[in-house]
Amino acid sequence: MKEKVLSIPTPFGAPLDLYKNTWGKSGDILSIVSGLQGDHLNGIYLNSRLSQFLDSVVEGIDPHYTLKGQVISFPVVNLNAIQSGSKLWPYDGMDMDLAFPGNPEGETSEALASAILTHTADSYWGFILQSAPPHYEDAPHIQTLKLDGRIKNLSRDLQIETVRKRNESAKVSLLQQWHKRDIVAVTLSSGSPRTINLPQCETLFQGIINFMVAEKILKDRRKIKSEASMNSRLYEPNDEAPVFASTAGMFLKEAKVGINVQAGEKIGEIRDIYSGKRLEELTAPVDGYLVTLRQYPIVYEKEPIAIILTAKKSWKEYLPWSAH
Q: From CA 31, how far away is CA 199, in angstroms rounded?
A: 23
- Domains of the chain, by residue range, sit at 2-233, 239-309
Nearest to 292 by CA among 247, 261, 319, 246: 261
Q: From CA 164, how far away is CA 235, in angstroms rounded?
A: 5
What is the topology classification, in CATH, of domain 2-233? Aminopeptidase (3.40.630)
Q: From CA 315, how far away is CA 163, in angstroms rounded?
A: 11
146-159 pLDDT, tens digit each: 888 888 889 989 99
CA of residue 160 relative to chain centroid, distance: 12
What is the topology classification, in CATH, of domain 239-309? OB fold (Dihydrolipoamide Acetyltransferase, E2P) (2.40.50)
Rounded to 5 degrees, what are φ and ψ at 61? -80, -40
Q: Is the pLDDT of residue 239 over 70?
A: yes
Q: How confident is the model at residue 319 (pLDDT cuts 50, 70, 90)?
A: low
163-205 pLDDT, tens digit each: 999 886 666 799 999 999 999 999 999 999 999 999 999 999 9
Q: How confident is the model at residue 225 (pLDDT cuts 50, 70, 90)?
A: low
What is residue 323's predicted lDDT score, i.e. its pLDDT?
A: 40
pLDDT over 90, % of the chain:
65
Residue with the bigger pLDDT between 316 and 166: it is 166
Q: Is the pLDDT of residue 127 over 90?
A: yes
Q: What average pLDDT does range 290-302 have in this prediction?
A: 96
Residue with the bigger pLDDT between 86 and 151: it is 151
Residue with the bigger pLDDT between 284 and 41: it is 284
User: What average pLDDT does the structure give for the chain?
Assistant: 89
Q: Is the pLDDT of residue 274 over 70?
A: yes
Q: Is the pLDDT of residue 320 over 80?
A: no
Q: Is the pLDDT of residue 226 over 50?
A: yes
Q: Is 84 exposed, middle or buried (0-12, 13-18, 19+ CB in 10 A)?
A: middle
What is residue 284's predicted lDDT score, i.e. its pLDDT?
A: 96
* H or E element, residue 266: strand 266-271
DSSP-H helix ranges across the chain: 41-58, 79-84, 108-120, 149-158, 174-180, 198-214
What is residue 222's predicted lDDT score, i.e. its pLDDT?
A: 81
CA of residue 99 relative to chain centroid, distance: 18
